[in-house]
Each structure stands twice: as structure tokens, then as C-alpha cells.
Amino acid sequence: MADDADTKEADTNPQAENAKMYWSAVGYTEGGVIREVDYASQSGGLDPMFEGIKIVDCDTHITEAPDLFTSRAPAKYKDKVPHVKLDADGVERWYVGDRNFGSMGGNVIRKDKNKLLGRLAFPKLEQAHPGGHIIKDRIQAMDDMGIYAQIAFQNSGVTQAGSLMSLGDNDLAVEIVKIYNDASAEIQKESGNRIFNMAHLPFWDHAAMMAEAKRCHDMGLKGFVLPDTPERVGVPSFLSDHWTPFLEMCEATGMPLNFHLNAAIDPNTLTWDGFGFEQTLSVVATMFSIGNAATLGNWMVSGRLDQHPKLKIGLIESGAGWVPFAVEALEHQFDEMLPSKKGMLKRRPWEYFRDQFMCSFWFEKVAPKLLLETIGEDNIMFETDFPHPTSLYPGVQAHLKDVLGGHTPAVRKKVLQDNPARLYNLDL
């Protein structure tokens, strides 16, 4: 959701996908409503129902610390890498030189553990829960929620490929990605292998992408996060041979691809003119999840899954309730709309899904209660989305008891531990 100023800048630089548009500026201004949280009654750790299960939260966000880049940059890049500035409107943002690289991401859990509603983040990081970016505080929050491990993603848009590509300095752009991945490896180590930040890649530069992908694997990182439609920033689509060696590497190493709300649609185009910020955000947040059906469909009709049958794909912050309809619809369309591709596509949509995809749920009740068998007990994971606006916070254990209480202990363990451990190659 971009404000008018952001939209004008993006129009003059469409390839950049400017990071200022990561979320609308209004979402970071003072305001909103604070929800009082009875944290003491909802932070008792793992419920006895899940004894013996190491719950893996497969979608959370680590806020990039203000000194993440400046503290790690080689001397020649010290004055060039991203840094945080306080703008005149009282909002902290990332900058590269004098160029606005956007907000610090979504941080709506206040440092007193209450939650901000109607906004995307507090204007300043100091107002937010320190577990957003300080690992010891994150570990404590995980223990309170009964979470053993977390799969984590970026919070800000500071590493967005479009913005980095438009810097006009490829060496600097690649270095920023490498610094981010170095920090991710440090987080993994500092957390005692409980927090696994997904790696980024300079995917616009084939040689640099391959070198960095190998380096990330060698550092022990557990997966990559990519956009579903790289052609939007001028990079060849996943149909291109630009991607083939990388996809072969992912197959060989078992490292998964993650599509985190990178659906092939822009939900901002789907809302009515005249809506206020909160109205628009409610619809957009919903459509981002459902839009993962496009990501799923793109891969299924592409032929890539037959070329790379061991490739693993995580649909993250996706939700799960839409999956049966989407796959059933694709089953129908395979028969009705793909007569010329029947020789190319070797499997059916349900087979592709079962073999190569994982989805995730957090707030849902219907999907985990009633649709697990249909979706596939081996294809669904759990997440909290901490510390984002839609996060399941703080009643994690109560929600899990409600939605998984009717399933067997073996199914609970699959969903909460075994499936994410298999996708991300975690030694639990």
C-alpha cells in the first residue's frame, strides 16, 4: 500500500520496486489503538498437550538492527551501506546515502507486551518489543509462547532486489545482500540453532547469485526467499535458464524456496477507491494470503516441477484454507485449459502439491480443525507471524489446543515439528 508520493516515485522508476512502497507511510505514523494483553496468563510456555514436541514457528520476522550493515561492512563500504535515520515525521527509516529505502518493517508488539492495532509499526524501534531485533529477548518470547524454533524472514524492505538493482553500483548491491546473510548466520549461531533466518540472493546477477547461494549453504543457512515474479524487476522468469543451475543446486542440497506473500498479483489493485487505510489494509492482508494460489498455479503449469522433482517449495504466511479449492480448481483447469501441455506435465495438481509444497496456518480454525486430511497432514505447518500486525499473539498455546486438540498426538507432531523440520532440514 503506497501513499501518493511513493506511487509517483515508483512511476518514474518502475524497475526499482522502491522499498518505500514496502508498506504505506501512514502505517508508521502515531495513532492506532493499543490492545491490552494479559501476558502473564498467556506466557506459560509449552502446554502439556504438546509435551515432547519441539514446535517450529515457520513464519516470523527479525527486524534488521540499525547497525546491521554499518557494523559489518568492509571499510570501503562503511559510508555506502544502509543506515537508519529519523525523518521529520518522527518515523525511523532506512537510507542508502540520501535515498529513502523505506521503513524498518512491521513491529506492533510494544515493549510492554501490549499490541498496536490499526497501524503497521511503531514509528521508532525503541517503542517496540526488543525481541524484534535482540536475540536474547526473542528467545525469551519464544519460550513464553512455547515455541522451540523459528523460521524467520526480513522485516524491512531494505534488501529488496529492485531497490538494490537501481543503486547503479552492482558491487555494493551484492555486498549488502552478503552482509544480510552473514548477519543471518550469526543470528542462527547466537540463538543456539533455534532461529533460522532465510537467505537472500542477488538473483539479478547470475554469477553472483550462484556464488552466494553456495556460500549460504556452506554457512549452514536453511533456505532462500525469492519473489514469485522476478520479471517485475527485469530479471528473467523462472521459465528461463537463468534459474536452472540454481534450482538444480536447491534440489541437490535440499534447500527450499520460500515465497513469502510474493504472490503473482498485487492486492493493492483490488480494493475500492475511497477506502481509508484500515479498510484497505484489511482486504489487502487477506488477499495477499489467497494470492498464493497464483504462486502455486504458476509452478504447477510451468513444467519446472517435472524438471526438478526434488525441489521443495514453502508457501509462507499463506494460510491453508484456500488450498483445497485452489488445487481442485487447477485439477479442473488441467483438463479444460491445458490440452497442448498434457505431454509436458507429468503429474496432476494434487500430486505436485503433495510432492513438493508446504503451506502454513496461523489464525485459522477451519483449516487445521477440518481440512488437515484433505490438505495433507504432511503438507501443512504452523506459524505466528511475530511481530507483525496480523500475528497470532500472545495466545499461541490456547489456539493450538483449540485447533489441533481433536487430532492425534502423531498428527500434532507432524504439523508442529516434523513437517517444518523436513522442509528446512532441521536437526531437532
Q: What is the pLDDT along the chain (428 residues), one digit of tens a residue?
A: 333 333 333 334 443 444 444 567 889 989 999 999 999 999 999 999 999 999 999 999 999 999 999 999 999 999 999 999 999 999 999 999 999 999 999 999 999 999 999 999 999 999 999 999 999 999 999 999 999 999 999 999 999 999 999 999 999 999 999 999 999 999 999 999 999 999 999 999 999 999 999 999 999 999 999 999 999 999 999 999 999 999 999 999 999 999 997 666 788 888 999 999 899 989 999 998 998 999 999 999 999 999 999 999 999 999 999 999 999 999 999 999 999 987 899 999 999 999 999 999 999 999 999 999 999 999 999 999 999 999 999 999 999 999 999 999 999 999 999 999 999 999 99
Rounded CA-CA distance 407/390 in Å is 26
Whole-angstrom Cα distance, residue 91 to residue 93? 6
What is the structure's pLDDT at 315?
A: 97
SS3 state at 138: helix
pTM, rounded to two decimals: 0.94
Find out whether 3 and 29 touch, Cβ atoms under 8 Å: no
Check residue 158 and report its DSSP letter: T
In a domain, 119, yes or no: no
* Beta bridge pairs of residue 319: 360
Q: b/e for 383-399, b at 16 or more Cβ within 10 A?
A: bbbbbbbbbbbbbbbeb
Asked if residue 124 belongs to a domain, the reply is no
- Omega prior to 394 cis, within 30 of 0: yes
Instruction: Quote the pLDDT of residue 269.
Output: 86
Please indicate, yes or no, if residue 288 is contained in any of the structural domains.
Answer: yes
Predicted confidence at residue 324, as pLDDT, reads 98
| 175 within some domain | yes
400 belongs to a structural domain: yes
* Nearest CA-CA partner of 19 in 83, 79, 104, 88: 104
Distance CA 238, CA 244 (A): 8
Give one DSSP letter per residue of 226-273, joined into a string: --S-GGGGTPPPTTSTTSHHHHHHHHHHTPPEEEES--SS-GGGSSPT
Half-sphere exposure of 129 (CA within 13 A, CB side): 27
- Which uninterrupted H or E stretch holds 35? strand 33-35
Helix axes 277-290, 292-302, angle to 10 degrees: 30
Kindly calculate the radius of gyration of the chain based on its CA atoms and give it in whole angstroms: 21
CATH code of 328's domain? 3.20.20.140
Cell numbers representing residue 187 in the block: 543470528
Residue 3: what pLDDT?
Answer: 35
Domain that holds residue 241: 44-63+133-424
Sheet of strand 380-382, all strands in order from the earlier edge strand to the far edge: 224-225, 257-260, 313-316, 357-361, 380-382
The H or E element spanning position 94 is strand 92-96
CA distance 90 to 104: 13
Does residue 406 belong to any structural domain of this protein? yes
Domain contains 109: no
Q: Say if residue 267 is preceded by a cis peptide, omega within 30 of 0.
A: no
Question: Is 225 inside a domain boundary?
Answer: yes
Residues 216, 233: Cα–Cα separation, whole Å: 23
User: 332 Cβ partners below 8 Å, 6+ apart?
Assistant: none
Handedness of CA 372, 374, 379, 383 (dihedral sign): negative
One-character DSSP codes across 299-345? HHHHSHHHHSTT--EEEET-BSTTHHHHHHHHHHHHHHH-GGGTTT-
Q: Cα separations (Å) of 335 from 306, 347, 348, 358, 402?
A: 18, 12, 10, 24, 39
Q: How many residues does the chain have?
A: 428
Contacts of 217 (CB under 8 A, 6+ apart): 249, 253, 255
| 20 strand-pairing partners | none
What stretch of H or E contains 135? helix 135-145
**Number of folded domains that form the chain:** 1
Which 3 state secondary structure label does DSSP give 40? helix
